[in-house]
Every structure is written in structure tokens, then in C-alpha cells.
Structure 1
Amino acid sequence: MIEAVMLWNEPNNKSHWDPELDPDWMLFAEMVKGAARAIREVNPTLPRVLGGISPIDPVFIRNMAARGVLEHLEAVAVHGFPLDWNLWQIHEWPGKIAEIRAVTALPVWVSEVGVSSFGAEEVQAWGCGRTAELLKGEAPRIHWYSLYDLPREWEATTRHKEAEGSSYYRHFHMGLLRQDGTPKLALEEFARHTPDLGLCQWFHFEDHRLDAAVDWMRRLGVTHLRTGLSWADSFRPNALDWFDRQMAALQDFSVTLTFCFTPEHRGISPHHTSPPLDPAEYAAFCAEMVRRYAPAG
């Protein structure tokens, strides 16, 4: 069921890691190495993937290599949204992957790629098809972001502010399904490219969409899913009950499980993007989750 584990999410993006607290990523590197070692003690063969980077930056990968991080991993990953936020064109996808291949021998996954329907659903549908054409055969895993629109009542986990308009609100229009579960034009296009295209769908704590999402993924022919278990959520009441329910619901898929988000009370700064006060606690969380959901053998 668990195909791989991913250590953090977008570590070179200040929406997910605070560069003022760790400007050279030294603390991040030590945290990931510790977690990778802890996971290996629990499961000797489970692939470990560096959290998908955004922006796609070979300098960051060189930094991780110089700090010894890549020695503890089996793959690296990239995220790209050229029709929404990136300053490059969709046709440059193969070149962007080549930039990372040039600085590491590890496989390069695309763990998030997507197009919003903010401007028009037709743009999203075209972008889905063109993305599939460009990436199939280029990356061992391609996870389309996402199945559902982000509910408008929720807050986007991003550095963008509401005052920025489109940059912020595009986060709420990335799904193949609208918030109410009705299909967009891109859904049919996506289904033409499964199982080559997998999905990335984050489930919030006690997410009401879980069972419906599983039904949709089966109907669409999805076999590979990337999702996450939040270290911060692990301190909520009944956290393990929710984690168990989520993982049981996803048992028919090959899951890449992302471990991220610092609990506010365990960070250098009280924020989910903060380096932890004690990186061994993150390693312990990762090991516990692997022991529970991906034990050796």
C-alpha cells in the first residue's frame, strides 16, 4: 500500500519552510537525515523521497547533496505550475526535469503538477492534456494536483495573501472536481491519462471528502496517490483514529505518504513552517508512522 515516504513538502518555498530561521537549510538537512535514518531502521527497503521542491531549483538540490542529504534518499521530487505561478512556459517541462537530472543521479519525480480553472475550465482541460503529453515517460511518478477544489471556507497554506488576488485565489480552483463534488471539463481529460497520471490530494483532519474521493479515484482508474500525514495533526485528540481511518480508506492505492508541518508548540517559532526545536521528534514521528502503516515485510 505505501509505495514511498516523502520528507517534508516544498522545503525551498517559504509557504512550508521559514528561510529566515534557516537561511542555508542546514537545520532542514539535519532534520531530513535524521528522519531518513529513523525510517530505515524500521523498514530497510521503503523508498524515501525528498519533499518536492518549488521552485524547481538545481542550486537547492546541490545544497542538499553537499550536506549529505541525498545519500539517505532514493528519489527527489519537483513541483510545477507554469500556467498559474511559475515564470516559465508549460512546454519547458522536459527541460526543467533535465536541470535536476544534471545535478543528481537520483530519479526525479513530479509530485505535484496542476492547472487551475481560475480563468477558464477550458484552460485547465487543455493544460491537463498537454502536461500528460510532456511528462509521460519523463518521470517515474506524476501526481496531478488535485482531485478537489480547496473549500472556500478554508485557508490556503501559502505565502500568498488575499490582497494579491489571483495569486491567492488560484489555490481554490486546482481541483478536477468543484467544491460540491461536480466535475469540471478537465476530469474527462485526466481520465484519458490514467494510470500514467496519479493524483496528489491532501486530506485535512477528519476531512469529509475522504470516502467520496476514494470512489472517484477508483472510477478514474487512479492507481498512485500522494497524500500526507501531518506531524502537527498528530497532537490533536483522536489523531491516530483519523490517521487509521484515512489509511484504511486508501489501502487499494499505491500511496506516497508525505510527513510535514511542524506543531506550533514544537517549533523554534510557533508556526508550521518552523524548524523544530528538536529534530529527533520529527524523526520519531516519521518512524512511528512507518511502523504503523508500512512495517518491514
Structure 2
Amino acid sequence: MLEAVKFWNEPNNKSHWDLELDPGWPKFAQMVQLAATAVKAESPSLTRVLGGISPIDPTFLTLLREQGALADMHAVAVHGFPLDWNHWTIHEWPEKLAEIQAVTPLPVWVTEVGVSTFGAEEVQAWGLKRTAELLIGRAPRIHWYSLYDLPKAWPATTRHREAEGSSYYRHFHMGLLLEDGTPKLAAKHFHEFAPELGICQWFHFEDHRLEDAVRWLKRLGVTRLRTGLSWADSFRPGCDAWFDRQMQALDGFDVTVTFCFTPEQRGLQPHHTSAPQVPEEFAEFCARMVRRYAPAQGAAAAAEPAGAAALA
């Protein structure tokens, strides 16, 4: 069911990793290296990707590389939102990719890129077209964020929430569809860029949108999907039934799944951004998910992917 697995999400963003608990990221580097090794042992041919960094920072990637975090990775990933949060223009995408390519020989995936409709739907429609022009052919995987707007009744995953002003509220307007499934202007044009342009859509535990999302993804011509399996959710009653339902619904897509979110009871602090008390436990979760959804397939599992060309 899986094309690739990613280890964590935006580790250099304090909304996703508590930097005060891990200055210099040695705990993060150890955690993802243990997880990558565990996944490699379960399914050697499954593509392993470092969680998308945001901001796009070659110095941060160099720091992780020097600590061994990339040793068992096949690719690295970046996230960029120049029309909403980043301090660079959308036209600088080629330069941003080049900055990362200069510090690693690994392929650079763009696993989140998007434009909100906070100001106007026309801005998103233009941003979709310009993003496709700039990235298709330059990155082997591109995932538009996202299919749905975040429901207003749910909190966005940030540290300071409403105190962030308009930056916070933009999180709720990133979808090609309104939260009720009504298509926006950009949705009418997405098929022009699929399947080269995939989609990133996170599903919450027992998400009511799952089946409708699958129908929309097919309608839009999507073949490559990025989503997540939450380590924190794995402690909920009925977690395996939900994971099975989610992955079965997504069968037929080339799925990149992100493993992330520390269970509160297993963190150094009780928060999903915390470094874990025992990093091997995250590795065990990743390995269990791979055994369940991407087991090694006989002799095909004996060989690693053949570098950048195999991932393009």
C-alpha cells in the first residue's frame, strides 16, 4: 500500500518539534536514524524520506547529516508556502531547491506546497498554476497542501494559535475544497497538473471526510497522496481498526505516509512535539506500521532503490 515513508514533519518548526527540549537536534537525529534502520530491516526497498523541513534551511539539513540522520534515507523533503508564511517569493522556488541540493546528493521532494484562499480564491488559482510551472520537472515528488480546508471547529497545529493573527487563520483556508466539500476555483484546474502534482491530506482519527476525500482525489486525477499515521493515535482504543480503514480506503494511490506526533505519556514533556523518553519506541511504531502496510515482497525487497533516477 505504501510507496514511501517519512519520518516526522517539519522538525525545524517549533509547532512540530520542541527545540527547547532538544537544542541542536541530537535527540531528533537519533530518533529518525533508529526509525529508518528499523524500517529498512522490515522492508529494504521501501523508500525512506526525512520529514519535510520548514523553513527550507540548508544549514539545518547539514546539521542533521553530520549527526547521521540521513544515513539510511533515500530522499529529503522540504515544505514551502511563499504566498502565506515564508519570507521569499514564489518565483524563488528553483533557488530554494538548489540550496538543499547543494548540501546533499539525495533527491529533494516537495511534500507540502500550497496557497491559502484567506484573501481570495483567485490568489490560490494563480499560485497553483505558478507552482506547477516552477516545480514540475524539478522535484521528483510534489504534494499540494491540501484537499480540504481545515474545519473551523478544529484547532490548527501551531504553538501560539490566535496570537499569531492572520498567520494562524490562513491554516484554515489551504484546501482546494471548502470544509463542506464545495470546490474552490483552483479545484477546477487541478487536473491540468495531475498526476505530476500530488496532494497532501492529513486525516484526523476516525475522520468523517475519508470516503469523500477518496472520491475527490480520483476525480482530480491524483495518483500520489501524502498522509500520516500518528504515533500518538496508536494509543487510542480502536487505533488499528482506524489505521486499517484509512489505508484500505487509500489503496490504489501511491501513498507516502508520515510517521509523527509523540504520545503525551511517552514524551519528555506531555506534548506531541516532545522528544520521546525512549526513541526506540518511535522506531518500533514505524516498524509495526511497515509490517502491517508495506511488508517486504520476497526477492524484490533485497535491493535498495537505485538512487535518484529510481525515485524520479
Give the TM-score, by structure 2 length. 0.94
The residue type paired with residue 101 of structure 2 is R
In structure 2, what is the Cα distance between the partners aligned to 1:19 and 1:123? Answer: 34
**1:247 aligned partner:** 247
Q: Does 1:92 align with 2:92?
A: yes
The residue type paired with residue 138 of structure 1 is R
**2:304 aligned partner:** none
Q: How does 1:1-297 map to 2 (within 5 A)?
A: 1-297=1-297
Q: Which deviates further from its counterpart, 152-161 or 95-104? A: 152-161
The residue type paired with residue 178 of structure 1 is L
- Gaps of at least 5 residues in structure 2 are 298-312
In the TM superposition, what is the alpha-carbon distance from 1:161 to its structure 2 partner?
Answer: 2.0
SS at the partner of 1:85? Answer: coil
SS at the partner of 2:77? Answer: strand
In the TM superposition, what is the alpha-carbon distance from 1:164 to its structure 2 partner?
Answer: 2.6
**2:300 aligned partner:** none
**2:307 aligned partner:** none
SS at the partner of 2:268? Answer: coil
In the TM superposition, what is the alpha-carbon distance from 1:163 to its structure 2 partner?
Answer: 2.8
The residue type paired with residue 168 of structure 2 is Y
The residue type paired with residue 124 of structure 1 is Q
The residue type paired with residue 31 of structure 1 is M
In structure 1, what is the Cα distance between the partners aligned to 2:140 and 2:158? Answer: 27
In structure 1, what is the Cα distance between the partners aligned to 2:195 and 2:46? Answer: 22
In structure 1, what is the Cα distance between the partners aligned to 2:164 and 2:50? Answer: 30
In structure 2, what is the Cα distance between the partners aligned to 1:223 and 1:19? Answer: 35
Post-superposition CA distance 1:139-158 (Å, at most 9, x none): 00000000000000000001
In the TM superposition, what is the alpha-carbon distance from 1:199 to its structure 2 partner?
Answer: 0.2
In the TM superposition, what is the alpha-carbon distance from 1:69 to its structure 2 partner?
Answer: 1.3
In structure 2, what is the Cα distance between the partners aligned to 1:109 and 1:164? Answer: 28
Q: After TM superposition, which residue ranges in structure 1, 4 or more long, deviate above 3 angstroms? A: none
Post-superposition CA distance 1:138-189 (Å, at most 9, x none): 1000000000000000000013421332100000000000011000001012
Post-superposition CA distance 1:192-228 (Å, at most 9, x none): 1000100000000000000000000011110000000
Does structure 2 conserve the Cα–Cα contact (< 8 Å) formed by 1:50 and 1:75?
yes
In structure 2, what is the Cα distance between the partners aligned to 1:2 and 1:252? Answer: 10
Does structure 2 conserve the Cα–Cα contact (< 8 Å) formed by 1:160 and 1:167?
no
In structure 1, what is the Cα distance between the partners aligned to 2:40 and 2:163? Answer: 44
The residue type paired with residue 202 of structure 1 is W
SS at the partner of 2:34? Answer: helix
The percent identity for this pair of structures is 72
The residue type paired with residue 38 of structure 2 is A
In structure 1, what is the Cα distance between the partners aligned to 2:264 and 2:34? Answer: 20
CA-atom RMSD, angstroms? Answer: 0.6
SS at the partner of 1:71? Answer: coil
In structure 2, what is the Cα distance between the partners aligned to 1:94 and 1:189? Answer: 23
SS at the partner of 1:70? Answer: coil
SS at the partner of 1:77? Answer: strand
In structure 2, what is the Cα distance between the partners aligned to 1:93 and 1:228? Answer: 25
SS at the partner of 2:19? Answer: coil
The residue type paired with residue 14 of structure 1 is K
